[in-house]
Structure 1
């Protein structure tokens, strides 16, 4: 009996996650948990048993995307100019967050930025070697943290998500953040 219950729970989890991926792709981070439950053919309590809150659901939906970002950071680590590698990865994070609806919401910190969000922590950890190398080479200020960089990207993406061209707006704001608001003297 317990094996059957576990198998049913696994099937429910997989069905909920598949529906959630579709709903998040269509409606972003604000996808309705009740709608997900309806389409998955389960009750709201079942969704909440597997995903106690919206953030947990978004983390699960975003897991593959985040792993791809981490893989890309590892590819860029040690390759070419350290500043260019870091900025290329951050630019890809911006682009990825713009196209992967719900990812910026999954990366948004709530509470303690170190322990409060496993998705964001994983992304920040992936950025850390790129950032350390750029700091060591003197191409990025030594007081910048990976958490701050991820927070900056999340803010940019969330602020621009309803613009007419979110990708262009987010790219422009990221370029502005990198360049600063004052030209070099």
Structure 2
């Protein structure tokens, strides 16, 4: 999408910014439709949500798999970008960590259908899983470190282990209406507090 050559010219950067914004609108619409209707939702529903024609979606994402992968990456990016913003805007690092974990849980619970389509036997699964880890583990580690430095949580907590634990607590949340993953994860996060 980006040629990265640093070319000059007034129209080109503006066009790229518009293209990025349009793609973000499509991905946000697709994510919202996937949450309510599943990843097999008709493309016309996504197009209607985004306020574009179906041809626009196919121009950006020729196959459903392309769209699903792009939505998944988009949601990972949003979660990753939220970490530093929460750290800057929250009253304490632990509050930022807690709010970020809430976003992470939302991502895990509402995007489980996406992950289900991208099974380990899918050629792109390993790459996508590596992207997920590369983007989110450092953000979680930064939040954990800030909370530990502020004396709010125990030092030496491992971001990957915490994320894996949160992920395991989210399993089944989409199939059992009596199970509230967010409440159980809240107990886990409360347990990180320094006594």
Scaled to the shorter chain, the TM-score interval is: 0.5 to 0.7
Answering whether residue 182 of structure 2 is matched by residue 170 of structure 1, we say yes
Answering whether residue 166 of structure 2 is matched by residue 153 of structure 1, we say yes
Q: Structure 2: which 5+ runs fail to align?
A: 1-14, 48-53
Task: Give the drift of 1:128.
Answer: 1.9
Q: Which has the higher contact order (CA 8 A, sep 6+)?
A: 1
| TM-score where L is the length of structure 1 | 0.55
Q: Structure 1: which 5+ runs fail to align?
A: 1-5, 181-185
2:61 to 47, 65, 75: 47
Task: Give the drift of 1:32.
Answer: 1.9
What is the aligned length?
162
Superposition misfits of 4+ residues, deviation over 6 angstroms: none
Answering whether residue 77 of structure 2 is matched by residue 67 of structure 1, we say no
RMSD: 4.8
What residue is the counterpart of 1:22 in the other structure? Answer: 32
Partners of 2:89 and 2:81 in 1: how far apart? 12
What residue is the counterpart of 1:88 in the other structure? Answer: 98
2:43 to 13, 17, 36: 36
- Measured at CA, do residues 44 and 104 of structure 1 come closer, stay the same or move farther in structure 2, by a change above 3 Å? closer
| TM-score where L is the length of structure 2 | 0.53
* 1:5-16 correspondence runs (5 A): 10=19, 13=23, 16=26
What residue is the counterpart of 2:9 in the other structure? Answer: none
Task: Give the drift of 1:71.
Answer: 1.4
Q: Any idea what the Cα deviations from partners look like across 1:7-58, whole Å, max 9, x if unmatched?
A: 9xx598467435413322313xx5127x236753238686246973623322
